[in-house]
Amino acid sequence: MDQARLAVKANLDQYDSSDLARSSTWQRLQANPQTAILTGHTIDTAGDPVELYHPAFSAFLQNLKSPDRPDAETNDKFLNYRSNSLWSPLEDINHASMTLEDLGVLIGETFPGIKKSDKAFESAITEEGGACCIAIQARHGFGPNGEDPLVLAALAYAKYWTSRKVKGVFDTSCCPTLIVVAAGPWVCVFGGIFLAQPVVQRFTDMIQVSHNPSRPDDLGQLVRLFHSISIATQALRSFYLDSNYSRLDPSTRPFPYCTSYLDHDGHKVDYKYIKRLGSGGKPSTSQVFLAKALDSSNPKPIVVKFVERYNGQAHRLLAEQDLAPQLLYDGTTHSDGQIGSDYYMIVMDFVNGIRFDQLPPKLLSKEVTNSIEKALQTLHDADLVFGDLRPLNVMVLRDATGTPTNAQLVNFEWCGKHQEGRYPLRISRSFDWVSGVSWGGVMDKGHDIEMMKKLFSM
């Protein structure tokens, strides 16, 4: 177990299990961002998107949105489910046991029994060398007078994976686990991974499992939900059963599961991650990685990034004129390029340069400014707006003597059509944007011009 994970374990072990779910204890547990469970309750405790770290999570999120109907057997299993048991008063362990057993039937799992974790919740775990699925029954429900389902999921996950019995698995994998939390007629699903710290994130809203006359169409969605949970749990079981942990490379643990892409000729290119890039290397703020292509004919450093949107047209347009790195793979153009429900993989050549804000002012040459102006003009001629001309998105290339030769733009996530495209709903508040750039605002070429003036005046 590495030092970062040991610190998390030590932080957890100093508290009694029966007190962990209390609000005051949880706040103390989370006080240090370096040992906290990353749940996203605060900006300091947001982690990487867990769907990037195991295909079972990615498939789960895609299955939830699938228009395909589950088969008749799956439908019958759900329709025969006695949802009234979820309404039972949770006064003793037997009521919690009934609810967890019912969840097991719906998920297609036979839980080995109920582990009385603490006063706040009961849990049952299905494991095959590692926790495939953790089912949790909140004893006091959700809400102001009950428990936070995210806290319950985070605690159950972290306590399980810091236990000694799974040490071999823990040291060589990201420990993916699906977590289902139930209280009364409500169910919520989470995914957990363990990188340097545990990361637990919500996959679904709190979903009403009992009959709701106002939303009769929910029945089909509920069948799909439990069918998707079952598929994901089976995939995780296969992962833990098939993995030979003595042969796994622990250095791959902190990186996403995608390790190959298709080149322009349709050939598979494998790669290996080296390190995280950008935004100080902090999770949640950067899903950009330096990797090495393992192509025997052309081994080279590459950049792999995972994005919610991307303008490959703009990237290719500039790459043709050496104003952007060569785009090697654009997941937005592939039918199977989506990861989970929200992300696409982008692969490009690595640019061995420095960020614009790292360039000493005295070295800001005409070649650099001219290339930036040319890049924007090329986009504007195509009726495109770059949108995010911050220093971190401009790389300055230098020759063997260290003299700057030109600049390249490296981030096309925001790029959109003039007067049609819109800025993201999440824009950094720490940067002094020019007038007109706002959350969800309409993009305009004039914003690029003003941002360029600001860039050159830095």
400 three-state secondary structure? coil
177 three-state secondary structure? strand
pLDDT digit string, tens, across residues 250-309? 788 899 999 999 999 999 999 999 999 975 445 555 799 999 999 777 789 999 999 999
| Distance separating alpha carbons of residues 189 and 206, to the nearest angstrom | 8
Where do the domains of the chain lie, and which CATH numbers do they carry?
3-242 (no CATH), 258-350 (3.30.200), 352-458 (1.10.510.10)
Q: How far is CA 181 from CA 57, 68, 103, 175, in A?
A: 16, 26, 10, 19
**Pairing of β 131-138 and β 177-183:** parallel
Region 12-32: what's the mean pLDDT? Answer: 81
Per-residue pLDDT at 237 exceeds 60? yes
Instruction: Residue 262: count other Cβ atoms within 10 Å of its Cβ.
Output: 15
Per-residue pLDDT at 421 exceeds 60? yes
Percent of the chain whose predicted confidence (pLDDT) is above 70: 87
Q: What is the pLDDT of residue 337?
A: 80
Q: Give the confidence band of 416 by pLDDT, cuts at 50, 70, 90.
A: very high
Q: What is the pLDDT of residue 84?
A: 46
Q: What is the pLDDT of residue 96?
A: 45
Region 384-412: what's the mean pLDDT? Answer: 95
Q: What is the pLDDT of residue 158?
A: 93
Copy the structure tokens of residue 117: 């974790």
- Look up residue 347 and give its amino acid: V
Q: Which residues of 144-155 are buried (b: 16+ CB within 10 A; e: fewer)?
A: eebbbbbbbbbb
Answer for the pair 147, 120: CB distance below 8 angstroms, yes or no. Answer: yes
409 three-state secondary structure? strand
> What is the rounded radius of gyration, in angstroms, for the C-alpha atoms of the chain?
25
| Distance separating alpha carbons of residues 345 and 288, to the nearest angstrom | 10
Per-residue pLDDT at 8 exceeds 70? yes
Per-residue pLDDT at 97 exceeds 50? no
